[in-house]
Chains A and B, each alone.
Chain A
Amino acid sequence: MSTTRLAGVLAFLLGVFVLVPLFINLTGRWDFYYTLTSVALLSVAAAGVWLTFYIGRINIGQGAYALTGGYVSAILITQYGVSFWLTLPLAGLFCAAVSVLIGLPILRLRGVYFAMVTLVLTEVARLTALALPVTNGAKGITSIPLPGELSLFGLTIIPDFSTLGNPKLAFYLMATVLMVLTYLVLWRIVNSRLGHLCRSLQQNEELSASIGVNTAMLRVLAYAISSFFGGLAGAIFVAISQSIYPSSFVVQDSVNFMLYCFLGGLGYVFGPMLGTLLLYFGWDLLSIAKEYQLLIYSGALIALMLVLPNGVLSLLDKKGGRK
């Protein structure tokens, strides 16, 4: 790793874990914690969407997995008394398993056909949540306890959130740590052979198969990793709001995940993270424009896509920047 890149990463970590909490402490804008926690979690889900883009599939169905992950966590906690920390990986794994079953047939589709099917998935997930007895229908699952203590060999690693004076900060740290880990994994995937194979798939599936790549397996693998991220993000969202309803994640959310990737840049690992930050914050900031909020927001989106079709991060390329 080059020194500039290392410096960049260190500056980023310093900003996220030291400067932001410091800034919030000084200004007293505690609501920023909630916003930034959301950004971190949304960018985890968007990272998954980005990975499906990387194999050449437009994924507008991440909301389905966020919802599924959220429900898995909520049900395990409230009905089976499982620790939140254990439900987190379980939610991810459950989503990955479901996505394998769904992905096997639908990943054979390409282009707009795959996109349309995934668009429907979110709605299917919502209707399923409404219909199943275990999800408690439209009433949803509420009063979910805050994450408990995580201890290993009697050693407390993470204290019980309900005993904390400032759970907002705790959630912020949890979400950002998860975000950093997610992007570390994503970066490693893209820069290892797995990523090169994904790129070969994105550019030409027939050729990829003829050089011996098991394209069906690779597509499902990438989609499963993608859904794993979606499930994780969903589970933490539920822990924060302590409740989940069938409408907690809707089609609009799925579309947003895709937009974050587009706007940040599909060619850049950190594109979805930046895209999420800009769009989510941008939307919040524009609330001062009241009834013109959506108009300005959409106008800015269209302008950005026209001016920077390869995403905001493509600005770096002109200076010979990094990928």
Chain B
Amino acid sequence: MTPILQIKGVTKRYGGLTANNDITFDVAPQEILSVIGPNGAGKSTLFKQIAGFVTPTTGEVIYKGTKISGLPPHKVARMGVVRTFQETTIFKSMTVRENVIVSHHLRSKASLLGFFFGSAQAKADEAEFGKSADDIIDFLGLQAIRNETASNLPQGHLRALGMAIGLATHPDVILLDEPFAGMNHDETMRMVALVRRLRDERGLTVLLVEHDMPAVMKISDRIVCINFGEKIAEGSPAEIQANPRVIEAYLGSEDAAIGM
């Protein structure tokens, strides 16, 4: 199968520090792929480069045959690769529904001038955004807090809202930055089910960076392990668990963390 996303020799240097060194892997369509690694391994830097927030020093990111590395984030998003954020990045003083509606920006067919004058296309767009936003809110089970101001929401709901914002752009590839961080076991299991549904029901390709090893092992089709900025292993969860280099990277305190 042709890969939907190709990471080709991506290297990022900040002065003398090499955050990512020659990382290469492919992502198949509708795959759930996790990027793991100890703290400071360069996972977030890799994500930023895929989403256009950081330009690689060398190497490139290819999406559906087109080079996307070096493009600004809004162009990468327009092509169908969208990132959600670590922690709780949302539009704080908007309601849940407003958050999702405003994130439909990429779907608008009318121009800003059209919206200003309230053209027929603009009205049609607004109606469509509202409907699509309600669909997404229902999909994520956020109906009860639809009109709640985002800043009042608890952590779990914020994470779901962040995902709703990502979904509103109707991406093909969604990058989830630590979707399970700070969640208890039950919340994590719900989120795991949700991420599966993103793929199964919405046909998304999911890339995620995560520390929660049991969740990663449960959810991933494949895993890429990074340590000190370099890819040290790639394979199925079982292969990763058995890989001596991965064990070494996590050795000591975090033996249990990879599910041994």
| Bound-complex Cα distance A204 to B94 (A) | 11
- Chain B interface (Cβ < 8 Å from any Cβ of A): 51, 53, 72-74, 77-78, 82-85, 89-94, 98, 101-103, 105-106, 108, 110, 112, 115-116, 118, 122, 125-126, 165-166, 168-169
**Is the Cβ of B85 less than 8 Å from the Cβ of A199?**
no
List 19 A–B pairs whose Cβ atoms lie within 8 Å, in order of A's numbering. Answer: A189-B116, A192-B118, A197-B112, A200-B102, A204-B89, A204-B90, A206-B53, A206-B73, A209-B53, A209-B74, A209-B77, A210-B53, A210-B84, A211-B105, A211-B165, A211-B169, A213-B74, A213-B105, A215-B74
Chain B residues closer than 8 Å to A22, beta-carbon distance: none
By size class, the interface of chain A is 20 to 34
| Residue of B73, B93, B112 touching A209 (CB-CB under 8 A) | B73
Say yes or no: is A188 at the interface (Cβ < 8 Å to chain B).
Answer: yes
**Which of B92, B93, B102, B103: most chain A CB closer than 10 A?**
B102
Chain A contact residues, majority secondary structure: helix
Chain A positions near chain B (C-beta within 8 angstroms): 188-189, 192-194, 196-197, 199-200, 203-204, 206-207, 209-216, 221
Closest B-chain residue to A196, C-beta based? Answer: B102
Chain B residues positioned under 8 Å from A196 (CB to CB) = 98, 101-102
Q: In the bound complex, how far is the Cα of B83 from the Cα of A211, in angstroms?
A: 8
In the bound complex, CA of A212 to CA of B105 (Å): 7
* 5 tightest Cβ-Cβ pairs between the two chains A and B: A212-B106, A193-B115, A212-B77, A209-B73, A211-B103
Distance (Å) between the CB of A57 and the closest chain B CB? 17
Distance, CA A193 to CA B112, complexed state (A)? 7
Q: Are A207 and B91 in contact (CB under 8 A)?
A: yes
B169 touches A203 (CB 8 A): no
Residues of chain B with a CB closer than 8 A to A204's CB: 89-92
With contact pairs A199-B102, A203-B91, A211-B168 given, residues A193 and B51 touching in the complex (Cβ less than 8 Å): no
Q: Which residue of A lies closest to B151 (CB)?
A: A203
A207 contacts which chain B residues (CB < 8 A)? 85, 89-91, 165
Whether B102 lies near A188 (C-beta < 8 A) is no
Residues on the B chain within 8 Å of A193, using CB = 105, 108, 110, 112, 115, 122, 125-126
Are the C-beta atoms of B85 and A211 separated by less than 8 Å?
A: no
Contact indicator A206/B85 (Cβ below 8 Å): yes
> Looking across the interface, which residue of chain A has its beta carbon closest to that of B98?
A196
Residues of A within 8 A of B168 (CB): 211
Instruction: Across the interface, name the chain B residue whose C-beta is closest to A185.
Output: B116
Knowing A203-B92, A210-B73, say if A188 contacts B116 (CB, 8 Å): yes
- A213: which B residues are within 8 A, CB to CB? 74, 105
Residues from chain A with Cβ under 8 Å of B89 in the complex: 204, 206-207
B106/A211 in contact, CB under 8 A:
yes
- Chain A residues with CB below 8 A from B118, complex form: 192
* Bound complex: CA A192 to CA B126 (Å): 10
B108 to chain A, nearest CB (A): 7
Q: Which residue of B lies closest to A215 (CB)?
A: B74
16 additional contacts (CB under 8 A) given A196-B102, A212-B77, A213-B74:
A193-B110, A193-B115, A194-B115, A197-B112, A199-B91, A204-B91, A207-B90, A209-B73, A210-B82, A211-B105, A211-B165, A211-B166, A211-B168, A212-B78, A212-B106, A213-B105
